[in-house]
Chain A
Amino acid sequence: MTTLELQNVTKRYGKETVLHGLDLAVADGETVAIFGPSGAGKTVLLRLIAGMAEPEEGEILMDGEDLIDVAPEDRSVGMAFQNFALFPHMSAFDNIAAPLDARRAKREAIADGVHAIARLLKIDHVLGHAPRALSNGQKQRTALARALVGAPKILLLDDPLRNVDAKLRFEMRLELPRLLEGFGSTVLYVTQDYREAMALGDRIAVLMDGRFIQVGTPEEIYLTPATVAVAELFGDPVINLFDARVEPSGGGSVAVVGSARLALSPGYANLYGTTVTLGIRPENVAPAGAGTAGAIAARVAALLPLNDRLVRLLVTDEGAEFYTSRDFGGETAGEGARVNVTAASQDVILFDKASRRRIAPEGEAAVIPAAPVGREHRAGRVSA
């Protein structure tokens, strides 16, 4: 039953503005992943919501009530820190019990609560240990248990999987959504890993240089990134970018990249004659038959294995480098081989060359409403 709303939240440290007028509405029970490179202000934002720092401007509303003058202990917020921030002089049990202890719960009630959450997170066998005797995975789970045990209205998770090993990170990425759903908390999940953001977030808010560049569902962000920077942050290998000129061709439009001509979706007639930045994700760079009109001719410069796939670095005759992660069929396209590739028109994303913002084709809804999953439906606003 808890909504969280940020209105024009601005944070300055001295003369430096760290957060620029952030707006965000999080619906009850929704998980919003705050994604961005380090130094973007993600942790600062969580600190503001938790009450460890105050914004210079703007309001933070929980269920419509302004939180600014509410002390951290009265906000009903749970937080898991990136560095765990366990109390070093207390056992894991006492660490987890801290939120219950604060409510003067009965000893038995505290023990029940702690054991229940510890069983859920599979740390009930180490409750007597001091934090220094715990493995990183156990510390992380203890921190998570401490954040969850009080059933907070708002759960703030600050990159909780940052300091754990790859295997545990993968397990937790699967486990966490189920766990969070069980608690019904409204969640802000900070991460630097786009996969984590896409796996855990009902919506993703992309924070860069203190501004939300884009707020939307994982699909929206991946398929229609608001800027070149967002496109580059989501996806591995990174999106291919070319300079291209948009021209009419037959009934539709094409993008001219060197000697290649890629068909575009309808709706770009207004761009004829202009040069744009064209983006194609590596998985959409497909091999083309010998006779395909307008295909990009390139040479395979390098083969890079990525998990079960083989990523190829291609170089065009003009010297432009780009990646493809599509299957070329066995050994037929080894290093030095010449290939023809193309991309389907719906997979081509155009960006303005100067502003580096995505150019939506005419006829597409200006901003796809980012439908919150919770009860209260409110469009996520795209700022900046």
Chain B
Amino acid sequence: MQHMSTGERLLRGVLITLALIFFLFPIFWILLMSFQTNADILRIPPSLFFTPTLDNYVALITGELKTASGVLKLAFMQNLFNSFILSTASVALSLVLAVPAAYAFARYKFRFSEDIAFTLLSFKFAPPLLVLLPLTIYFQQIGLANTYIGLIWVYQLITLPLILWIVRGYFEDISPDIEHAYRIAGHSWAKMFFRISIPLARPGIAAAALLSFIFAWNNFVFALVLASADKQPVTVGALAFVTASGIQYGQIAAAVVISIAPTLALALFAQRYLVEGLSLGAVKG
């Protein structure tokens, strides 16, 4: 640990505090909003003091939104369930496909390997709208429009390249000698892959899965175009709060709080893997 003067330590503290306020204030404000009525939210100037209400959450969970123009049906819980299904299944499928692929790209030099890997990454460069229109038509023709399978397939554009490229780096960091040692000890390639390579790349796989889960969860445009009401995730479902009688800020805030909760919990849980050392000091550098 470096020596720091009191001044430096103070400056450090101030800067960290500023950064924390900058990043955490919006979340804090959303949390407050979720317990306010629309009237409280729109009051000028805004106030930290209000009578907290659970109405927003109740409306979301019961699926009934009482507005000035009558009772609106909300599919928020269904949206949440859809988000969950779509993100989980997309990440799971991507892991099954991308982890072995990442290993191949990391370990074996085959013809066009770099080109293929780059092409897969380039899926992330292209604006989604570029592919959406033709995709919509194709999906309608082959009956994949508005299905979970169709959406999960398209979500691979988000999750697969991400997992592939992150995990590839982790595989490259594993000393090939460790794998060779296991082979020479008499184990097959498959055993080596599952008992040596995968466990040693686990921090990377966990990080990649977490990131791609968040990206999938936050996706808006694919689901907007390719899914109708009963398959929509929360991101699209939130549009329902823009009603004829105004924007329901309170419900939006509550919906945001509920929808970031799973990713936040996941991030906290996976933190252990994210910071865990990779090689654990078995190979002398």
How close is B98's CB to chain A, nearest CB, in angstroms? 22
Q: Does A98 contact B (CB under 8 A)?
A: yes
With A79-B181, A88-B178, A146-B181 as known contacts, state yes or no: A102 contacts B282, CB within 8 Å. Answer: no
With A81-B177, A83-B177, A163-B284 as known contacts, state yes or no: A88 contacts B185, CB within 8 Å. Answer: no
Contact of A86 among B176, B183, B199, B282 (CB under 8 A): B282
Contact of B185 with A86 in the complex, beta carbons under 8 Å? no
Q: For residues 258 through 285 of chain B, which have their beta carbon under 8 Å from a beta carbon of chain A?
A: 279-284
How close is B109's CB to chain A, nearest CB, in angstroms? 10
Contact of A89 with B200 in the complex, beta carbons under 8 Å? yes
Q: Does B193 contact A (CB under 8 A)?
A: no
Q: Does A132 contact B (CB under 8 A)?
A: yes
Q: Does B124 contact A (CB under 8 A)?
A: no
Chain B interface, number of residues (Cβ within 8 angstroms): 23
The digit string for B91-127, where 1 denotes a CB below 8 A from any CB of A, is 0000000000000000000000000000000000000
How close is A129's CB to chain B, nearest CB, in angstroms? 11
Contact of A73 with B184 in the complex, beta carbons under 8 Å? yes
Q: Which residues of A contact B200 (CB under 8 A)?
A: 88-89
Cα of A71 to Cα of B182 in the assembled complex, Å: 12
Cα of A103 to Cα of B191 in the assembled complex, Å: 13
Contact of B280 with A89 in the complex, beta carbons under 8 Å? yes
Q: Does A85 contact B (CB under 8 A)?
A: yes
Contact of A50 with B282 in the complex, beta carbons under 8 Å? no
Q: Does B180 contact A (CB under 8 A)?
A: yes
With A88-B200, A89-B200 as known contacts, state yes or no: A131 contacts B280, CB within 8 Å. Answer: yes
With A50-B180, A72-B184 as known contacts, state yes or no: A130 contacts B284, CB within 8 Å. Answer: no
Q: Chain A interface residue count: which class?
A: 20 to 34
Q: Does A77 contact B (CB under 8 A)?
A: yes
Contact of A87 with B281 in the complex, beta carbons under 8 Å? no
How close is A215's CB to chain B, nearest CB, in angstroms? 25
With A85-B175, A87-B178 as known contacts, state yes or no: A73 contacts B280, CB within 8 Å. Answer: no
Contact of B280 with A136 in the complex, beta carbons under 8 Å? no
Q: Does A282 contact B (CB under 8 A)?
A: no
Q: Which residues of B contact A102 (CB under 8 A)?
A: 185-187, 191
Closest 8 CB pairs of A and B: A102-B186, A88-B282, A132-B281, A88-B280, A85-B177, A131-B282, A98-B185, A99-B185
